[in-house]
């Protein structure tokens, strides 16, 4: 890895909210075109979105590991317009909440 590549990699890795303000201030002082500033801000937003999506995915996976199966203790009976009957089982919302809320910290 060359020094230039390492410097570019380190610069991208260190873009945090405080650093972003500094980076934009420096760019404005250096007379960087607005189009380039927009690209920098867009990159920052995409990096933030990607980090948030990864954090959400990791949190969801941890929740799914801890959450026990939720029993379907109620039955819905449906009669269609054509007169056909069918039913399905489901869990009541209060039952779901009792199981899920402690795991969510609610």
Q: What angle do CA 99, 104, 106 make, to 5 degrees?
A: 90
Residue-wise pLDDT tens digits, 16-35: 667 878 888 888 888 888 88
**Which residues of the chain are modeled with pLDDT < 50?**
1-9, 11-13
């Amino acid at each position: 890895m060359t020094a230039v590549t390492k410097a570019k990699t380190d610069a991208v890795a260190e873009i945090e909210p405080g650093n972003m303000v500094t980076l934009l201030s420096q760019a404005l002082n250096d007379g960087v075109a607005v189009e380039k500033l927009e690209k920098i801000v867009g990159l920052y937003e995409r990096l933030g979105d990607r980090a948030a999506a990864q954090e959400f995915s990791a949190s969801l996976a941890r929740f799914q590991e801890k959450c026990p199966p939720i029993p379907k203790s109620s039955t819905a009976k449906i009669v269609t317009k054509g007169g056909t009957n069918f039913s399905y089982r489901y869990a009541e919302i209060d039952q779901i909440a009792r199981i899920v809320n402690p795991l969510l910290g609610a």
